[in-house]
Amino acid sequence: MLELKDKSEEMMELARRRGFIWPSFEIYGGVGGFYDFGPLGSVLKNKIIQKWREFYLVGENFFEIDSPSVMPEEVLKASGHVDHFVDAMVECKKCGNSFKAVDVAREATGKDIEGMKEAEMDEFFAKNKVKCPDCGGELGKVFLFNSMFRTFIGPGSQRVGYLRPETAQGIFIDFKRLQRYARGRLPFGAIQIGKGYRNEISPRQGIIRLREFTMAEAEVFFDPENPHHPNFSSLADEKIRLWRAEDQIKGEEKIVEVTAREAVEKNYIHNELIAYYAALTKKFLMELGIPYEHIRFREQKPWQRAHYSSETWDAEVYTKRFGWVEVAGIANRTDYDLSRHAKFSGEDLTMTVGESGRKIICHVVEPSYGIDRPLYCVLEHAFVEEGERKYLRLKKWLAPVEVGVFPLLKRDGLPEKAIQVQNLLRSRGLLADYDDSGSIGRRYARADEIGTPYCVTVDHQTLEDDTVTVRDRDTTKQVRVSIEKLPDVLTSLLHDQINFENVGTPVKK
Helix H or strand E encompassing 212: strand 212-222
Question: 84 or 359, CB closer to RNA?
Answer: 84
**Positions 156 through 185 that interact with RNA (CB under 7 A):** 165
CA angle 482, 486, 490 (to 5 degrees): 140
Question: 286 or 440, CB closer to RNA?
Answer: 440
Question: Residue 152's beta-bridge partner residues?
Answer: 160
Burial readout 296-309 (b: 16 or more C-beta within 10 A, e: otherwise): bbbbbeeeebbebb
* x/- map, 376-395, RNA, by CB under 7 A: ------------xxxx----
Q: Is 297 in the site for RNA (CB under 7 A)?
A: no
**Positions 28 through 47 that interact with RNA (CB under 7 A):** 29-33
> Which of 467, 466, 445 lies closest to 455 in space, CA to CA?
445
Listed ranges 82-90, 254-262, 265-273, 351-359: which one lies at the site for RNA (CB under 7 A): 82-90
> Which of 66, 65, 69 lies closest to 163 in space, CA to CA?
69
Give the span between the Cα atoms of 381 and 301, in whole angstroms: 29
Listed ranges 149-157, 365-373, 468-476, 488-496: which one lies at the site for RNA (CB under 7 A): 468-476
What values do phi and psi take at 332, rounded to 5?
-90, 105
Q: Is 150 in the site for RNA (CB under 7 A)?
A: no
Q: Is 151 in the site for RNA (CB under 7 A)?
A: no
Give the span between the Cα atoms of 179 and 186, in whole angstroms: 9
Q: Is 93 in the site for RNA (CB under 7 A)?
A: no
Q: Is 87 in the site for RNA (CB under 7 A)?
A: yes
Q: Is 84 in the site for RNA (CB under 7 A)?
A: yes
Q: Is 488 in the site for RNA (CB under 7 A)?
A: no
Local structure of residue 89 (DSSP, 8 states) = E
Listed ranges 11-19, 120-128, 244-252, 495-503: which one lies at the site for RNA (CB under 7 A): 11-19
Where does residue 191 rank: exposed (0-12), middle (13-18), buried (19+ CB within 10 A)? buried
Q: Is 408 in the site for RNA (CB under 7 A)?
A: yes
In the complex, least distance from residue 308 CB atom to RNA, rounded to whole angstroms: 7
Sign, CA dihedral 442-446-449-451, equals negative
Binding RNA (rule: CB under 7 A), the pick from 213, 417, 459, 493 is 459
Listed ranges 80-88, 153-161, 212-220, 255-263: which one lies at the site for RNA (CB under 7 A): 80-88
Binding RNA (rule: CB under 7 A), the pick from 91, 174, 287, 449 is 449
Give the span between the Cα atoms of 14 and 10, in whole angstroms: 6
Listed ranges 41-49, 355-363, 444-452, 494-502: which one lies at the site for RNA (CB under 7 A): 444-452
Give the span between the Cα atoms of 458 and 445, in whole angstroms: 17
Local structure of residue 92 (DSSP, 8 states) = B
Binding RNA (rule: CB under 7 A), the pick from 47, 241, 373, 471 is 471
Binding RNA (rule: CB under 7 A), the pick from 127, 129, 183, 509 is 509
Q: Is 100 in the site for RNA (CB under 7 A)?
A: yes
Q: How many Cβ atoms sit within 10 Å of the Cβ of residue 266?
A: 11
In the complex, least distance from residue 116 CB atom to RNA, rounded to whole angstroms: 15
Residues binding RNA: number (CB under 7 A):
68
Estimate to the nearest angstrom the gap between the alpha carbon of 466 and the chain centroid: 43
* x/- map, 195-234, RNA, by CB under 7 A: ---x-xxxxxxx--x-------------------------
CA angle 250, 252, 256 (to 5 degrees): 115
Q: Check: CB of residue 320 under 8 Å from CB of residue 380.
A: yes
In the complex, least distance from residue 141 CB atom to RNA, rounded to whole angstroms: 18
> Which of 240, 293, 292, 304 lies closest to 269 in space, CA to CA?
240
Q: Is the peptide bond before 302 cis (omega within 30 degrees of 0)?
A: no
Q: Is 469 in the site for RNA (CB under 7 A)?
A: yes
Question: 356 or 437, CB closer to RNA?
Answer: 437
CA angle 41, 47, 53 (to 5 degrees): 140
Give the span between the Cα atoms of 190 and 196, in whole angstroms: 17
Listed ranges 123-131, 249-257, 367-375, 431-439: which one lies at the site for RNA (CB under 7 A): 431-439
Question: Residue 351's beta-bridge partner residues?
Answer: 360
Which residues have a Cβ under 8 Å from the Cβ of 441 and sit 6 or more positions away? none
**Positions 276 through 295 that interact with RNA (CB under 7 A):** none
Binding RNA (rule: CB under 7 A), the pick from 192, 457, 490, 503 is 457
C-alpha distances (whole Å) from 95 to each of 121, 134, 266 are 20, 8, 56
**Positions 304 through 333 that interact with RNA (CB under 7 A):** 304-307, 309, 321
> Which of 412, 391, 506, 401 lies closest to 455 in space, CA to CA?
401
In the complex, least distance from residue 481 CB atom to RNA, rounded to whole angstroms: 11
Q: Is 94 in the site for RNA (CB under 7 A)?
A: no
Q: Is 409 in the site for RNA (CB under 7 A)?
A: yes
> Which of 273, 294, 272, 292 lies closest to 283 in space, CA to CA?
292
In the complex, least distance from residue 147 CB atom to RNA, rounded to whole angstroms: 5
Q: Is 370 in the site for RNA (CB under 7 A)?
A: no
Site for RNA, rule CB under 7 A:
5, 13, 16-17, 23, 29-33, 81, 84-85, 87, 97-100, 103, 134, 147-148, 165, 198, 200-206, 209, 304-307, 309, 321, 388-391, 408-412, 437-442, 444-446, 448-449, 457, 459-460, 469, 471, 476-478, 507, 509
